[in-house]
Amino acid sequence: MSILTVDDIHTYYGQSHVLHGVSLDIESGESVALLGRNGAGKTTTLRSILGMTPPREGEITFKGEPIDGLEPYQIARRGIGIVPEERRVFPELTVGDNIDVVMDDDGEWSKDRVYDVFPALREHQDQLGGQLSGGQQQMLTIARALVTDPDLLLLDEPSEGLAPNIVADLKSLLSDVLDTGITVLLTEQNTEFAFDLAERAYILSKGDVAWRGDIETLQESDDVIGKYLSVG
DSSP string, the chain: -EEEEEEEEEEEETTEEEEEEEEEEEETT-EEEEE-STTSSHHHHHHHHTTSS--SEEEEEETTEE-TT--HHHHHHHTEEEE-SS----TTSBHHHHHHTT--TTSS--HHHHHHH-HHHHHTTTSBGGGS-HHHHHHHHHHHHHTT--SEEEEE-TTTT--HHHHHHHHHHHHHHHTTT-EEEEEES-HHHHHHH-SEEEEEETTEEEEEEEHHHHHT-HHHHHHHTS--
> DSSP label at 231?
-
Single out the segment in contact with ligand ATP by CB under 6 A; choices: 34-42, 55-63, 100-108, 223-231: 34-42
Residue 94 or 189 having the CB closest to ligand ATP = 189
- Residue selected from 8, 17, 27, 39 as contacting ligand ATP according to rule CB under 6 A: 39
Range 147-186, binding ligand ATP (CB under 6 A): none
**CB of residue 147 vs ligand ATP: minimum separation in angstroms?**
26
Residue 94 or 190 having the CB closest to ligand ATP = 190
209 binds ligand ATP (CB under 6 A): no
Residue 110 or 189 having the CB closest to ligand ATP = 189
**CB of residue 57 vs ligand ATP: minimum separation in angstroms?**
17
49 binds ligand ATP (CB under 6 A): no
41 binds ligand ATP (CB under 6 A): yes
Residue 115 or 228 having the CB closest to ligand ATP = 228
Residue 46 or 178 having the CB closest to ligand ATP = 46
- Residue selected from 36, 51, 55, 135 as contacting ligand ATP according to rule CB under 6 A: 36
43 binds ligand ATP (CB under 6 A): yes
